Amino acid sequence: MNTTVEPSRSEYIALIRRYLNGEIDGKTFGAGFQELQRRHKTLEDEKVRSWPKRYDLQLERDYTSGKISKDEFNKRWYELWEYKPGGWRDIVELGLFYLLDRYTEEEDLLRAYRNDPDEYNQTYFLTEKELKEELKKYLKELESADD
């Protein structure tokens, strides 16, 4: 029996606020965020295992082969995962997960990317200051998003 509890919007908001207010450092924030992400992924994996076949992969195949439009893909994807377009889960899944992947405390890595001639690489990794600025935007979105 599963005892994993889905992370709530309030947990994400509280964690972000604590970090932005200086109550916790970057490592503690990262660890807290990874725990919320792990819980999210555990529940997602359990949902996939409950299906008789991989509906998510079939949807992706239908879209990439041109069988369904992008709009139809998005509609079905949200139905499959039981998310509301533009809702808080959407912000977390499409925004925060990606944002946190871009943060690094590794100065050598950050310096190498900032010196890369490719403009995408120059802006890919975020400094702590840049991360906090982005998190302020996501915090506002999370606070005002629908359930």
Q: Decide: residue 53, CB within 10 A, 0-12 exposed, 13-18 middle, 19+ buried.
A: exposed
Domain count, the chain: 1
15 lies in a domain? Answer: yes
63 lies in a domain? Answer: no
1 lies in a domain? Answer: no
Quick one: which of 93, 102, 98 has its CA closest to 128? 102
121 lies in a domain? Answer: yes
72 lies in a domain? Answer: no
- What is the model's pLDDT at position 17? 97
pLDDT of residue 123 exceeding 90, the answer is no
Domain range spanning residue 131? 9-50+83-144
pLDDT of residue 1 exceeding 60, the answer is no
Phi, psi angle pair for 27, to nearest 5° = -65, -45
58 lies in a domain? Answer: no
Quick one: which of 7, 16, 13, 9 has its CA closest to 35? 7
88 lies in a domain? Answer: yes
2 lies in a domain? Answer: no
pLDDT higher at 95 or 75: 75
18 band by pLDDT with thresholds 50, 70 and 90: very high
- What is the model's pLDDT at position 46? 93
121 band by pLDDT with thresholds 50, 70 and 90: confident
pLDDT higher at 125 or 39: 39
Please report which residue ranges of 4-127 form alpha helices under DSSP H: 9-20, 26-50, 55-64, 70-81, 88-91, 97-101, 107-114, 119-124
pTM: 0.78
